[in-house]
Amino acid sequence: MAQSQEGITAPFSDTVYLKAAALDPAFCLLWIEPHVLVNRDIKAEVAQRVKELILQDAAETEQPVPVPVPAEEELEDMEGEGLFAAYHKRLKRDVWTPPAVQLSHYIDMAEGQNALLFWALNSKTLPSLFQVAIRVLAVPASSAPVERVFSHGGIILSPHRAQMTDRLLANLIFCKCNAV
């Protein structure tokens, strides 16, 4: 996270938020466009920076997929006698596409879709981006769970319990929020 000169961390300064917004097909890079007061060059620079962050993360997690090559015996077994002797069955090969191509393909096809459904359907066609999306979309998008903890703390620490120690309050909040 980026910190200011006073050592205070700016909210949403971590790059994971930029990557999460870009890899959510509901937003993609559309969140950059509506800023009317911002120069187009700045918009293009921000979009390029976000793309670079995603590609950098994809390159770190990428594992090249070996392309299976059939052995000569398998090719001989495929050749037979008869009507279709000259016909050779095409073997499916895993085609590796670079993350940059996957990213441009993703930007072209992402249009306000549900993130879970989109990545479930496209995990095989965009494998490098899928690995990044799994990591960055796991970040909670809201502070609602934390707000609930504070709410429980406010309910537990009533004026009648003003003499409660910090440790007891923490333990009671823990028990309340983690009860099954």
Q: HEC states along 112-180?
A: CCCHHHHHHHCCCCCHHHHHHHHHHCCCCCCCHHHHHHHHHHHHHCCHHHCCCCHHHHHHHHHHHHCCC
Q: Taking residues 22-50, what's their average pLDDT?
A: 82
72 to each of 5, 77, 78, 80, 93, how far by Cα in Å?
A: 66, 9, 10, 14, 16
94 pLDDT higher than 60 = no
Query: Lowest-confidence range among 25-29, 82-86, 139-143?
Result: 82-86
- Average pLDDT across the chain, whole number: 78
Residue whose C-alpha is closest to residue 152's, from 174, 120, 129, 126: 174
Q: What is the pLDDT of residue 57?
A: 87
- Size of the chain, expressed as the number of residues it contains: 180
Reported as a single tens digit per residue, the pLDDT across 98-132 is: 888 888 889 888 887 888 899 999 988 899 889 99
Q: Coil, strand or helix: which one is 56? A: helix
Q: What is the pLDDT of residue 1?
A: 45
Q: What band does 90 get if pLDDT is binned at 50, 70 and 90?
A: low
Q: State residue 81 phi and psi, 5-degree precision.
A: -105, 155
Reported as a single tens digit per residue, the pLDDT across 52-86 is: 988 888 888 765 555 455 455 554 555 556 666 66
Query: Where do the domains of the chain lie?
Result: 15-67+94-136, 144-177
Q: Calculate what percentage of the chain has a pLDDT beyond 90.
A: 9
Cα–Cα dist 144/124, whole Å: 33
